């Protein structure tokens, strides 16, 4: 996924009210931009850190830009716009990069499934049947470690998705959870049990029920973000 037009660089002043961030651009302009990340952004924020944002000239928008990338306190680059994760996965699926899911004949986004009113990010159709795919964006890293973790805050929605996928798998359907790791320098992913033990337990139950759990890592730079390779998912 190339950024077109190119991203602009700035420095983070603060993030507040969840969806707002004050920055200073490289030219010294003070801006308030949209932060499209509903998580805690744990270990991603550092006052004065470099950020990259996309600028909008749409007069209907209240804010002039969107926070896309950031430099973490550990020196990594993270794609902090969680709305990019599905597009990155779709691009990788269509390019055949996610080999475990290759060969599909049909492709749909946001498909209702399950008994709790969920919508899968994707449904892939094959000659042998269909699978439901949930995507989670991962940006939580730690100093001195190449293992990322999910979630960065308690997620009832994430736990619900695990229940729905597990129920589908128990009924004989194919259910897949894919961690889209939007953080440089990462080799593996684990559940952040210290943050959300309910989610971690749900992940173990889902895997036991037959849910396929995959993780793919992205290359992240201000010009382009792409999913490139499979990462290990630790139990």
Query: What is this structure's pTM?
Result: 0.96
Tens digits of per-residue pLDDT, 124-144? 999 999 999 999 999 999 999
- What is the model's pLDDT at position 60? 84
Under a CB-based contact definition with an 8 Å cutoff, are residues 36 and 67 in contact?
Answer: yes
Domains parsed from the chain with CATH numbers: 8-79 (2.40.50.580), 84-233 (3.40.1350.60)
Q: What is the dihedral of CA 68, 12, 191, 166, to 10 degrees?
A: -40
pLDDT confidence of residue 69: 98
pLDDT at 57: 82
Per-residue confidence in pLDDT tens, the chain, 235 aa: 999 999 999 999 999 999 999 999 999 999 999 999 989 999 999 999 999 999 988 888 899 999 999 999 999 999 999 999 999 999 999 999 999 999 999 999 999 999 999 999 999 999 999 999 999 999 999 999 999 999 999 999 999 999 999 999 999 999 999 999 999 999 999 999 999 999 999 999 999 999 999 999 999 999 999 999 999 999 7
Cβ(216)–Cβ(100) under 8 Å? no
Which tens digits make up the pLDDT trace of 150-197? Answer: 999 999 999 999 999 999 999 999 999 999 999 999 999 999 999 999
- Give every CB contact of residue 218 below 8 A, 6+ residues apart in sequence: 79, 88, 180, 181, 182, 183, 184, 225, 226, 227, 228
């Amino acid at each position: 996924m190339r950024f077109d037009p190119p991203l602009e660089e700035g420095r983070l002043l603060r993030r507040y009210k969840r969806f707002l961030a004050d920055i200073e651009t490289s030219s010294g302009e003070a801006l308030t931009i949209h932060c499209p990340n509903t998580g805690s952004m744990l270990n991603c924020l550092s006052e004065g850190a470099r950020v990259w944002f996309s600028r909008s000239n749409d007069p209907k928008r209240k804010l002039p830009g969107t926070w896309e990338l950031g430099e973490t306190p550990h020196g990594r680059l993270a794609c902090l716009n969680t709305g990019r994760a599905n597009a990155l996965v779709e691009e990788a699926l269509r390019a055949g990069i996610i080999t475990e899911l290759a060969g599909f004949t049909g492709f749909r986004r946001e498909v209702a499934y399950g008994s709790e009113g969920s919508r899968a990010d994707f449904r892939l159709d094959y000659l042998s049947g269909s699978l439901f795919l949930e995507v989670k964006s991962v940006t939580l890293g730690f100093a001195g470690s190449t293992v990322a973790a999910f979630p960065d805050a308690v997620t009832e929605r994430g736990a619900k998705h695990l229940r729905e996928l597990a129920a589908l798998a128990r009924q004989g359907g194919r259910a897949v959870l894919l961690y889209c790791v939007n953080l440089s320098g990462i080799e593996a992913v684990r559940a952040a049990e210290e943050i959300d033990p309910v989610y971690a337990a749900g992940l173990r139950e889902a895997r036991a029920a037959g849910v396929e759990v995959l993780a793919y890592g992205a290359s992240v730079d201000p010009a382009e973000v792409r999913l490139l390779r499979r990462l290990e998912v630790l139990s």
